[in-house]
Structure 1
Amino acid sequence: MLKTYGLFGIIQLFYFKIRTKLVFNKARMIRFPFYIRGRKNIVVGEGFTTGYNCKLDAFDINNSKQELITIGKNVQINDNVHIAGIEKIEIHDNVLIASKVFITDHNHGKYSGENADSPLSIPKERPLHSAPVIIEKNVWIGEFVSILPGVTIGEGSIVGTMSVVNKNVPPYCIVVGSPARVVKRFNFEKNTWISSKYD
């Protein structure tokens, strides 16, 4: 441990460990600075670990007093991850999230279908529109990924770096790109990842 972190690093880890228990007593380690809004609407499972400069925002705009962000057991998010919810974001057990990832269940304005917002309106004054985001267990999300409202990412899937996820991801797949598309599926009979045409 001394070789990895050095004396100052070890002291810093102990400091973070003490502060962690004051913020989320079930968490394993929160590295500060760590930003949180709407603490009463956020539930974190055992073993939660963060990198530096992470941000959890739960905006209870409907005064529902319900859990808006739920994080399961042994979830790890790395540096500069931002998770923002107004309706429902569920992150299930054993999810690994790389640095600089953005996850949101809402948008400022509506941009498809009837009654879409005009580009002449002021963005911050447009009504918020939301749809739940669910990330099932054992998912790995690469660096610089954005996950948009209304998306479910299936169990055991991998989201490649810099992908933008704007539709559901099936279980046991690898998706890449903007927008993200399936490039591989896990074949349980052969016990290997098989290349797939874009879905």
Structure 2
Amino acid sequence: MKSLLKTLYIKLRRALAWGYRYRVATRCRSHGAGLTVNFYSTVTATTVLGTNVNFNGMTIRGAGKVLIGDNFHSGQDCLILTDNHNYDCGTAIPYDSTVISRDVRIHDNVWLGDRVIILGGVTLEEGAIVQAGSVVTKSVPKYAIVGGHPAQVFKYRDREHYDRLKAEGRFH
């Protein structure tokens, strides 16, 4: 009985993953080969995905463009917001009905931990890692490891090791 339940569970997970992938693939502007969507995710029509993109529960909202490069991996429950309200010089308090949209660019080989939030206008350069629970409000340099709210650089990846793995084509 346990093996039957396990088999059914595996088949259900595969069917759900196919459905999640279909939802993302048909709603984004474009995507490369190797798109994997393991948990419920939603993207906008202005989202462009590279090859070998892995979502584990991603929500992308707003009118700004989102460009995600190759070999991207997200943890669970990540959120990218490209829109914000006009609170600086609006016509009402706390904000008016003006929406300010800013693009988000995520370069190749970036990894987001669980429950990361990325705000509009941010660029994550190649090889960046964002610690779980972080709120990214400013751009992140190449090979940086960031964390916190707001996210700040606390370390850099070993560049020689990174370049060697990249040259060998060793991508997860």
SS at match of 2:71: coil
- Structure 1 counterpart SS, 2:44: strand
The aligned runs of 1:1-199 (5 Å cut-off) are 6-13=6-13, 15-16=15-16, 29-32=17-20, 39=27, 42-58=29-45, 68-79=46-57, 81-107=58-84, 109-112=85-88, 115-116=89-90, 118-120=92-94, 126-188=97-159, 191=161
Partners of 2:91 and 2:107 lie apart in 1 by: 32
Secondary structure of the structure 1 residue equivalent to 2:157: strand
| Residues 103, 147 of structure 1: 8 Å contact kept | yes
**Counterpart secondary structure, 1:70:** strand
**1:142-191 deviations in whole A, cap 9, x for unaligned?**
111100000000100100011100110001010001000000013436x5
Is the contact made by 1:164 and 1:177 (CA closer than 8 Å) also made in structure 2? yes
Higher helix share goes to which structure? 2
Q: Give the CA deviation at 1:10.
A: 3.6
Q: Aligned residues: percent identity?
A: 32
Q: Structure 1 residues 119 and 165 mapped into 2: Cα distance closer, same or farther (>3 Å)?
A: same
Kindly provide the CA deviation profile for residues 18-37 of structure 1, in whole angstroms up to 9, marking residues without a partner as x.
xxxxxxxxxxx54549766x
TM-score by length of 2: 0.79
In structure 2, what is the Cα distance between the partners aligned to 1:152 and 1:175?
Answer: 13
The amino acid across from 1:54 in the alignment is S
Residue 30 to residue 111, structure 1, CA distance change in 2 (3 Å): farther
Is there any run of 5+ residues in structure 2 with no aligned partner, and where?
A: 163-172
Q: Which runs of no fewer than 5 residues in structure 1 stay unpaired?
A: 17-28, 59-67, 193-199
